[in-house]
Chain A
Amino acid sequence: MSDAATLDRFLDACAQAGAAMRVSGEQYLSPAVLLEVAAEHWGLAASAARSMNLRWSALWADPRADHNEVFCLLEGAGEYLLLRTEIGFDEALSSHAGIFAAADRPERHARDMLGLAFADAPDERRWTRHQAWPENHFPLREEADGADTEWSPTPADSAYPFVSAQGAGVVEIPVGPIHAGIIEPGHFRFQAIGEVVLNLEIHLGYVHKGIEKIARGRDAEGLVRLAARVSGDSCVAHAWAACQAIERATVTEVPARALWLRAIMAERERIANHLGDIGAICNDVGFAFAQYQMTRLKEDFVRESNDAFGHRFMMDCVVCGGVTRDLDADAANSMVEQANAMASEVEQIIDIIEDAESLEDRLMTTGRLTPEQAQMLGVVGYVGKASGLNFDVRAAAAYPPYNKFEVPVSSYRAGDVAARAKVRADEVGISLALLNALLASLPGGSIRVPVRRPAHSCSGLGIVEGWRGEIVSYVRLEADGRVARFYPRDPSWLLWPALELLQQDNIVPDFPVCNKSINGSYSGQDL
């Protein structure tokens, strides 16, 4: 990771492309290498990154007094490169979206929230903004403060310009924002001929709650509480990413025991979500047996988390400087016992699932994302792993305590619903083994230290592997320790576009199972 091969190649590629680029003298956003780019070379830098197949991971802007500071995170072979540029409020940056498809929605989000303009953007439609605030209003700009709570009631967003299709036999099916099940809201627009989907377009933003804005002015504790609610199913991972950012910014050394306990919680979160979703995938094609067995195991599992940490999802257990709850020897033993029993139960049930021809018929070849498409979109987590990619932050860019463990990465090339379910089943086994390894090596000592007060304004970057994949968290603190900017990038930003692509040529009735196999977070992407 530290041999900087990716960095050297990228600098060469930039020099060839004519993009002026220099390694920043102040490396305050580790583990990423901070690179200063001239605003006019922003697009060239992306072309250079594309030419060497770097993965486009995230984009965010941090509004300063008289300019926007813009960041773009790239990754290759586990090395993170962070492009940084500055641009005046009235100037435009070159869009990355024509070069990296993944950049499209993050750029539109930055424009809706901050007024950050992108020249030559392939898609100029609004994304996060619906009807709650006017087009010329940018909630994250300072002048918006206090002037923006008077627009109730908000009308329905009925005029979003969806891509349309015409021709004999083409039907359009609008779905949402409220869906038929107990799930989050979003709008899906299908164009179909008969049962076959020609195109699916997703419009999100319905659960936009202003997270980036209400983060401002919070203290570190309050920020982590908010981070845990970016996507409640990933409360441990998002809180951990935010904590990493704050702890790196303030140079706070977290005790080893706290790091181990965070990892124990994060693996428990991963296992619980995977168990639930494997059951739900099977249920979406009518195989109720797996649903009841998996929800049973998931319930057993979250009850154990509750016994050990006082909360079924371990919400607010990860805090700045450590964790809130220690694990005594009895609880640790009981956790090991449960993990062992769970491993054999899961194996038994997966065996039954794999035996079922009806499942094979419905899940294999359904919703296929080819390895080429996965690479093109830069997907992460189980979606990437099911389509030939094998990126996992815990293995490729291991953060403590994972740098002390071998994290096997399950990867397939089929890219269908079955492969995504299989990756998740594999990950349950891997995480149960990791859980035991973590419990067996749990260091002694304290579980929390106070966060150091920053001497001046500072920022930090957190990157962890949530159960959906890579979570990135950027935090800038003022000198008084208050939050000036928070941007959490849920992996769902990278997963939703994959759902649109893999649904094409599949039948409408297979949409629920395709959707479940991706299971993007609405809340995590809407912010």
Chain B
Amino acid sequence: MLKLLAKTLSIGSITESPPRLTEEERLGLEVNRVVSERFGGSIAIRQVDAGSCNACELEIHALNNPYYAVERYGIHFVASPRHADVLLVTGPVSRHMEAALRRAWEATPDPKWVVAAGNCACDGGEFGVSYASCGAVANVIPVDAFIPGCPPTPAALLAGLLQLMGKLARNPSAVSSR
């Protein structure tokens, strides 16, 4: 136990400043305001792998490591779409996941936002549309924000999520057409 405490204390806090964004300072304040006013202090994300190769998942995991510490923005990942404000969807949507993705989207209470994370989710990526793949997430459910990358780095994911929140800060009722 002493060794554990010593290790924890010797590493200290390594959490880094958020990634540079355009109008970053203002956005940061707005994000905090939106999160506290409109979302009761936090944004709940349900991640859905709809056909990804798992590289995007590794980087989404990294958001929770002590460098990115995404919960400091009030962003946290939840186990059920029923608890979620945002669906963070990866992968080209495989046909075998199409129904599950639609159901997860339907189970998410309004207001809700969908973020397509990674090239495959944005435009079908390396897999495109085939007998087995529906391609981009937007081919299956409405998408509000896109985070390209193969996979997007944790910094890109963070910037993408903050931008979505910034967009909501400017126009809280902004939702994709359903």
Q: Tell me if A178 and B104 are in contact (CB < 8 A).
A: yes
Q: Give which listed residue, A180, A233, A295, A296, contacts B54 with CB less than 8 A.
A: A233
A184 to B67, CA, bound (A): 24
B91 within 8 A of A: yes
A148 to B66, CA, bound (A): 46
Min CB–CB distance A290 → chain B (angstroms): 9
Q: In B95-124, which residues have CB < 8 Å from any A CB?
A: 95-100, 102-104
Q: Tell me if B100 and A185 are in contact (CB < 8 A).
A: yes
Chain B residues near A130: list those with CB within 8 A.
Answer: 95-96
Complex interface bits, A321-365 against B, C-beta within 8 A gives 1, otherwise 0: 000000000000000000000000000110110011000000000
Q: Tell me if A207 and B52 are in contact (CB < 8 A).
A: yes
Q: A152-B134, A157-B96, A181-B79 are in contact. List 18 more A-B contacts (CB 8 A).
A: A130-B96, A132-B95, A157-B99, A207-B96, A209-B133, A210-B127, A229-B125, A231-B54, A232-B151, A233-B55, A233-B58, A235-B53, A292-B65, A293-B7, A295-B65, A296-B11, A312-B59, A522-B54
Show 11 A/B contacts (Cβ-Cβ < 8 Å), sorted by A: A132-B131, A151-B95, A156-B100, A182-B77, A207-B94, A208-B95, A213-B130, A293-B7, A295-B64, A295-B66, A315-B150
A214 to B131, CA, bound (A): 10
B residues at A contact (CB < 8 Å): 3-4, 7-8, 11, 14, 47-62, 64-67, 77, 79-80, 91-92, 94-100, 102-104, 125-134, 140, 150-151, 153
Min CB–CB distance B35 → chain A (angstroms): 21
Complex interface bits, A121-142 against B, C-beta within 8 A gives 1, otherwise 0: 0000000001111000001000
Q: Please list the 5 inter-chain residue pairs (A to B) with the smallest Cβ-Cβ separation, ordered nearest first.
A: A232-B55, A210-B132, A232-B53, A132-B95, A148-B131
A431 within 8 A of B: no
Q: Tell me if A209 and B99 are in contact (CB < 8 A).
A: no
A residues at B contact (CB < 8 Å): 130-133, 139, 144, 148-149, 151-157, 177-178, 180-185, 205-211, 213-214, 225-226, 229-233, 235, 276, 289, 292-293, 295-296, 298-299, 302, 312-313, 315, 348-349, 351-352, 355-356, 521-523, 526
A302 to B67, CA, bound (A): 12
Q: Tell me if A232 and B77 are in contact (CB < 8 A).
A: no
Q: Tell me if B58 and A153 are in contact (CB < 8 A).
A: no
Supposing A178-B100, A298-B65 touch, asked if A184 and B49 sit within 8 A by C-beta, the answer is: yes
Supposing A214-B128, A232-B151 touch, asked if A185 and B97 sit within 8 A by C-beta, the answer is: yes
B102, closest chain A residue (CB): A153
Q: Give which listed residue, B14, B53, B66, contacts A523 with CB less than 8 A.
A: B53
Min CB–CB distance B137 → chain A (angstroms): 14
Q: Tell me if A289 and B130 are in contact (CB < 8 A).
A: no
A225, closest chain B residue (CB): B126
Min CB–CB distance A287 → chain B (angstroms): 10
